[in-house]
Amino acid sequence: MLTMAPMYSEKVLEHFRNPRNMGEIEDPDGVGDVGNPVCGDLMRITLKIDDETEIITDIKFKTFGCGAAIASSSAVTELVKGNTILEALEVSNKTVIEELGGLPPVKVHCSLLAEQGIAAAIKDYYERRPDKQIPPQVQEKIRKLDRLDPHEMPG
C-alpha cells in the first residue's frame, strides 16, 4: 500500500536543492564523522578554526543520507560559520529545525546528525591541540549527545 510522503517546508527543499558549503576542507583543523546506526546515514563536518579567536572561519559538510540530513547539514554550516566555538555549541538540532521551518516528526533524527557532527569536529580540534584546554561546555555537549539513544529518537 502506498503511504503519504512527509511534507517538507520550502526552506528544506531549497537547502536540499542548493546545499551551502558542501564538500571537504583540505587540511582541516577539526573533522567530525558521525552516523545514525538506525538508518545508516553518515555525515562528515570539516572545520577551519582561528587558534587565537577560536572563530570558525570555514566549514564544509559531506553527507551520505536523506534529503532532510542534507538540508540539516547545509543549514547548520550557515548557522555556525563565523561563530566562536562556544557559540557554535549553542546550536542544537532544535535550532536547525527552526532554521529549516520545521521537519516532519519522522525526520527529526536527521537534524541531530548536524548537531553531533559539529560537536565531534570541535572535539577533534581540541584533540589535535593538546596545548589547549578543552572547555567544559564541549565535554558536556559530547556527554549529552552520547547519552541519546538513536533507537529511541522519533523516526
Residues labelled as active-site residues: 39, 110
Rule CB under 6 A: is residue 32 a binding residue for ligand FES?
no
Rule CB under 6 A: is residue 110 a binding residue for ligand FES?
yes
Q: At which residue does the C-alpha cell 542544537 appear? A: 92
| 32 Cβ contact partners less than 8 Å away, ≥ 6 residues apart | 43, 44, 45, 46, 47, 116, 117, 118, 119, 120, 121, 122, 123, 124
Do residues 15 and 28 lie in contact, with contact meaning Cβ atoms separated by under 8 Å? no
Provide the minimum distance between the beta carbon of 98 and ligand FES in the complex, in angstroms, as a whole number. 18
Rule CB under 6 A: is residue 69 a binding residue for ligand FES?
yes
Q: At which residue does the C-alpha cell 542548493 appear? A: 18
Rule CB under 6 A: is residue 75 a binding residue for ligand FES?
no
Dig out the grid coordinates for 10 from the structure. 520550502
Provide the minimum distance between the beta carbon of 53 and ligand FES in the complex, in angstroms, as a whole number. 32
Rule CB under 6 A: is residue 68 a binding residue for ligand FES?
yes
Count of positions on this chain that bind ligand FES (CB under 6 A): 10
Q: Which residues bind ligand FES (CB under 6 A)?
A: 36, 39, 41, 65-66, 68-69, 107, 110, 113
